[in-house]
Amino acid sequence: MKAFLLWVIKNVRFAALIIAGIILGTCFIKMWRYGDVFSTEYLIVYINSNVAYADVWQEVLAYRLRRFITLAVLMITPFRKLYVYWLCLYNGFCLGICMTKAVMFHGAGGVVMVLVWLFPHYLLYIMTVLLMCHYFLNRIDTLRRTVIIVSMSLLLTLIGTFAESYINPDIMKMFLSKVCNIV
């Protein structure tokens, strides 16, 4: 029981930073009314677009690999814990912005829209970050084990980019046209 309580206390900081980021993102949007990605006009254009998936994948792959390399490099420095805190706060901030904008345009259904928008690729990205953080923040064993962890994380990231580029657009278009009735 004592070990469980210590684990909860240790990990509450990460959850608190994510929640603080969500609150900051919500306040940011409420104050500055930034962007209209979830407006009906934008979503109609999104549904009717015929973008080449391979082109999208190249862009997504380049962006996500830069993020992965940053994560991998900072995980081997003494600043790894500070970077993890920043990552939690930043991602919470972005989620707060997206949720608030979606709710402003589509009401409570906007929350579901954001969850569909993040599925399935963000599950893989979250697993990547959790795997790397758990390994590098708790124990760094041998070089072989480190290479295995980084390789598994890279594989998850690559699968996530594929899902983000090829699977998610179809899921999102189907959701918007069938569930949200945006034509």
User: Would you give the DSSP letter of residue 180?
Assistant: S
Note the pLDDT tens digit of each residue in 38-85.
677 767 777 777 777 888 899 999 999 999 999 999 988 889 889 988
Average pLDDT, the chain: 82
For the chain, the domains span: 1-180
pLDDT band at 14 (very low <50, low <70, confident <90, very high): confident
CA–CA distance, 182 with 120 (Å, rounded to integer): 22
What pTM did the predictor assign? Answer: 0.80
Q: What is the predicted pLDDT for the residue at 177?
A: 81
CA–CA distance, 29 with 174 (Å, rounded to integer): 27
| Alpha-carbon distance values, 32 to 22, 27, 35, 81, 101 (Å) | 15, 9, 9, 31, 11
CA-closest candidate to residue 133, choices 4, 13, 3, 21 = 13
Note the pLDDT tens digit of each residue in 110-150.
888 888 888 889 899 988 988 888 888 777 678 888 888 89
